[in-house]
Amino acid sequence: EHFSLSRSYNFNTYLVTYSYNIMRTSSTIYLALSALISNGSHAFQLTHHHVVSSRFASVQSVTSLGSTKSSSAPSVVLDRVFEIDSRPIILFDGVCNLCSSAVNLALDWDPRGKLRFAALQSKVGKNLLQAHGRDANDISSIVFVTPKGAYTKSDAILGITQELNPLPFVPLKPLALAGQYMVPQILRDAVYDGVADNRYSIMGKRDVCRFDADGEFDDRFVDDNLAEV
């Protein structure tokens, strides 16, 4: 019996260590992909009043996101964004280059358009944060908002991953589910926090929020006017 318990303990220790290494390796691959995509793909690299890519015609400064118009109550905005479109929404840090690269990756790996996007700093983003009990100015974590609730940190990443198809007939949902149940949340969140806390030093930040200026992905980015009265 003692031998059996010892063997079980050693196996569990190995599983935790192995799972952690998988998460750490995955983060390294993710950063490499993000760095690669940031130099190409959809090229949402914008500076204040300057367009780097011809696919975009205009840009908003972060400070201009707070409109002088009155905003609706967070619960009202929440109802509006899912009233006629039930697709989940990814709330991302709009001034983070790493985060914008991750959005590029999600757009590429979601050919069916199952996901929508909004900056955490946008009016819609702030209202959705408040509707789920978070501070309107909390940009510490990516947030995955669904009609049933909101998820942060590694749970958000795994929720998003379940919707992605990087290659035809190669869905990531099985891998996401395996990671959710095999890797303890405390380890998953530790890996996430390590990347999130250093995201500006990894790939820098910009002075403006990324958005779809020319409407190419019009149905993928939530209309910020939904937050107006």
In angstroms, the Cα distances linking 62 to 96, 179, 199, 203, 227 are 12, 35, 18, 18, 17
pLDDT in tens, the chain (229 residues): 544 444 444 544 444 454 444 455 444 444 444 443 333 333 333 222 222 222 222 333 333 344 456 677 999 999 999 999 999 999 999 999 999 889 989 998 998 999 999 999 999 999 999 999 999 999 999 999 999 999 999 999 999 999 998 887 778 888 899 998 999 999 999 999 999 999 999 888 876 665 555 567 789 999 999 998 7
Residues facing residue 128 across a β-bridge:
none
Going by C-alpha positions, the residue among 61, 40, 158 that lies closest to residue 104 is 40
Q: Tokens 């990347």, residue?
A: 195
Amino acid at 196: A
Measured CA to CA, the distance from residue 179 to residue 22 in angstroms comes to 9
Q: What is the pLDDT of residue 70?
A: 63
Measured CA to CA, the distance from residue 109 to residue 12 in angstroms comes to 34
Measured CA to CA, the distance from residue 119 to residue 100 in angstroms comes to 10
